Structure 1
């Protein structure tokens, strides 16, 4: 597939890295030589130095015969303009990063189709929504809704005193016959394991468990963790994502959240104080330990650090954890920091680039792909696929299928009902199937559904 990416920043680079590794024909356009040099030196892709809104430069980059044009510069207007021009030039699908609610909101006067854009993505909003989900599951480091929210995948870190340490997955299932669940992936000391029934769990494993949404609280108890209600939240950083998280929590009809938000810019803090009537907005340095203690961080249920300084996010979350805050979440952009952050004791980390990649991926995959989600901290993905009538996946029960190595089928959604998969399960035409696999197995698995 021929893919043109406009913008060689953090998100553009990450997408180019992932898509080129999957053997797509990728070209990256940017007006700055520095970011392009990084792409050229590290990735097997073509690069073009030029203006994203220049018809000549877009034609020279090959937009006219692109299967997908992805516009992810840091400027909304540039993304929209280059997307419009690209569509007119012949790009089959246009995906644009647009953060302004004037264009991406439900009441926007212009729809994406009016602008020639097939898909608008908003990585910051996706990441903010993920943080809001994490606050509703206090024990989980990851919460992913699947099958129209009828199933959830949760990530749990096993503590040193977990009752599951040393227990095989077969024994784990036998201990709790009344709960239907499946362990689909394990992160262990930097390794990713797609497990079988004989593998034994170890302390500090990051365990990913799939179950029906209503069974998740019971599954959490089996790991030795306790689900506690979170009510008070402190947010460090009020620009972009911090403000979005505050808005999402204020709009939550199921709970009355107590929210403090700390923002260093006086004018922005004042604007947020006027807009967010239910939030206590403070003007100050959100990484200042004295300020955090003075404002009662030790009395908070959750601490969310989403400033632009990711090292400070990690350090302030560690301090919050030391003060026995129940849940800490840090915004982290460097991939190397993600497994490290959980190893040193943070409850969860969020990455905007991963959110963007997850949104875009399902439009790149072949076949009827419902969603693609990358699991943070391990090299595995969750893919929700729809079985094409007559495809190989529908021919035999799962135990008789020759599935690729590094892949496991977790659940099936059929006519509105969900099933956690066993060896006897059968996939029928048009069923939606949830699969967990290593990157090396993705293409092989996708072909089974075509």
Structure 2
């Protein structure tokens, strides 16, 4: 693949290193001569010194013939302009790093669509999604999120007395457009269909918005009603912390943020009215003791200083916090933290640049679809979760989901239209350029590709 990257900062450098090692044809544009020289000496890639938002520099880098264009500088404005120009000049797929939430707010204007950019990437928001997944449900199944955390997947066992037992799925009225995708019954995986009925003991895989998943849990497991609130204490009012607080906006979470900067505290108190802001130095043991951090269900350190995050998590763990997690800027620390997790008590360390790299790598491959997870081992007829796009001349473009003759052993569990992801309904109309996510038997993938291409 021919890939052009603008920016040789932390995220851009990590991406260029990862992609060049994977034998991709990588070109990096960097205006800072020191950074450009350092990068050219450390990776096997072409490095151009220039302005990434200049059309002439982009053409010198060959964006008109590139498969992927990644604008990853620390400036949102440069990234948006650069990616928009690259798309106009002929780049196949464009990614732009967008740090400011203003550019991801679609209430007034959809910046992604306005600038013609295929994907907006926010490393801090992606890191927050990883943290939120663990907090929302520590026992959730491991699968990539669809739509940047707006759709999650969860495995639930049907318990005695559940209201969903012995009722065909077509007659169930699950709130929040929850979709049941896979059923494990007595060791056998079954792809759900309209006539499937659920039985006590079934392990079902359900898809939907995280809040909807929580609200419907009682339908499958009556004993889960009346769960106590989950206390979450976050160190620092950083971008990761703000994104995490928004992802945990459901009333079942009691969120506190400890921030040293008084002005930032006051600002966040206005922006996050349901979050308790605490003005204080969260790295101080005295402050942690005064605020009874040891009573927290989750303590999450999100400062920009890795050492502060590690030491504060260690203190919170010693004080009695049930779960401790942190954001880490130096990705090479993660392996060490994992090895010392028992003694340090850190259950999860998330790196924004690694999260951004993983998000981009999901799309860089030669397959016409992205395989998110395999649900059975070995056999050709095992089931998997895949994500793919609806092509311009696709047989399903312009049709309602319910009117399409989908392959057997295939169920749609996600639909993204105009960059807005959700769980689909039968009345949703598929359009060229939309993305869908499906659970499907591997032997049926070719049938699905014929419909969507």
TM-score exceeds 0.5? yes
Between the aligned partners of 1:368 and 1:151, the Cα distance in structure 2 is: 26
Conserved? CA contact 1:369–1:384, under 8 Å: no
**Structure 2 CA distance for partners of 1:22 and 1:272, relative to 1, 3 Å:** same
Task: After superposing the two structures, state which structure 1 stretch, 88-97 or 77-86, moved more.
Answer: 88-97
Between the aligned partners of 2:131 and 2:229, the Cα distance in structure 1 is: 13
Q: Output aligned runs, 1:372-383, within 5 Å.
A: 383=372
Conserved? CA contact 1:134–1:143, under 8 Å: no
Q: Does residue 361 of structure 1 match 2:361? A: yes
Alignment-derived partner of residue 233 in structure 1: 232
Q: CA deviation at 1:356?
A: 1.1
Q: CA deviation at 1:316?
A: 0.9
Alignment-derived partner of residue 410 in structure 2: 415
**Structure 2 CA distance for partners of 1:111 and 1:274, relative to 1, 3 Å:** closer
Alignment-derived partner of residue 255 in structure 2: 259
Q: Does residue 428 of structure 1 match 2:444? A: yes
Tell me how large the CA RMSD over aligned residues is. Answer: 3.4
Q: CA deviation at 1:283?
A: 1.9
Could you list the runs of 5+ residues in structure 2 that have no partner in the other structure? 156-183, 190-202, 207-226, 387-408, 414-440
Q: CA deviation at 1:212?
A: 5.1
Alignment-derived partner of residue 307 in structure 1: 303
TM-score, reference length from structure 1: 0.66
CA deviation profile, 1:179-224 (whole Å, cap 9, x unmatched): 679xxxxxxxxxxxxxxxxxxxxxxxxxxxxx8547xxxxxxxxxx
Alignment-derived partner of residue 133 in structure 2: 133
Between the aligned partners of 1:334 and 1:428, the Cα distance in structure 2 is: 42
Conserved? CA contact 1:230–1:302, under 8 Å: no
Q: CA deviation at 1:290?
A: 1.5
Q: CA deviation at 1:229?
A: 6.6
Alignment-derived partner of residue 244 in structure 2: 245
Alignment-derived partner of residue 323 in structure 2: 327
Between the aligned partners of 2:385 and 2:56, the Cα distance in structure 1 is: 48
Conserved? CA contact 1:137–1:143, under 8 Å: no
Q: CA deviation at 1:58?
A: 1.9
Alignment-derived partner of residue 277 in structure 1: 273
What's the secondary structure of 1:86's corresponding residue?
helix
Could you list the runs of 5+ residues in structure 1 that have no partner in the other structure? 153-175, 182-210, 215-227, 372-382, 386-396, 402-408, 419-424, 434-449
Conserved? CA contact 1:101–1:108, under 8 Å: no
Q: CA deviation at 1:240?
A: 0.7
Between the aligned partners of 1:234 and 1:18, the Cα distance in structure 2 is: 34
Q: Output aligned runs, 1:36-435, within 5 Å.
A: 36-138=36-138, 143-145=142-144, 149-150=152-153, 213=205, 231-250=230-249, 252=250, 255-345=251-341, 346-370=346-370, 383-384=372-373, 398-399=378-379, 411=384, 414-416=409-411, 427-430=443-446
Q: CA deviation at 1:310?
A: 1.1
**Structure 2 CA distance for partners of 1:32 and 1:316, relative to 1, 3 Å:** same
Alignment-derived partner of residue 213 in structure 2: none
Q: CA deviation at 1:178?
A: 5.0
Between the aligned partners of 2:229 and 2:136, the Cα distance in structure 1 is: 7
**Structure 2 CA distance for partners of 1:213 and 1:399, relative to 1, 3 Å:** closer
Between the aligned partners of 2:124 and 2:235, the Cα distance in structure 1 is: 15
Conserved? CA contact 1:307–1:331, under 8 Å: yes
Q: CA deviation at 1:243?
A: 1.3
Between the aligned partners of 2:262 and 2:10, the Cα distance in structure 1 is: 28
Q: CA deviation at 1:48?
A: 1.1
What's the secondary structure of 2:370's corresponding residue?
strand
TM-score, reference length from structure 2: 0.66
Number of aligned residues: 334
Q: CA deviation at 1:266?
A: 1.5
Between the aligned partners of 1:212 and 1:123, the Cα distance in structure 2 is: 32
Between the aligned partners of 1:344 and 1:310, the Cα distance in structure 2 is: 15
**Structure 2 CA distance for partners of 1:412 and 1:5, relative to 1, 3 Å:** closer
Conserved? CA contact 1:234–1:302, under 8 Å: yes
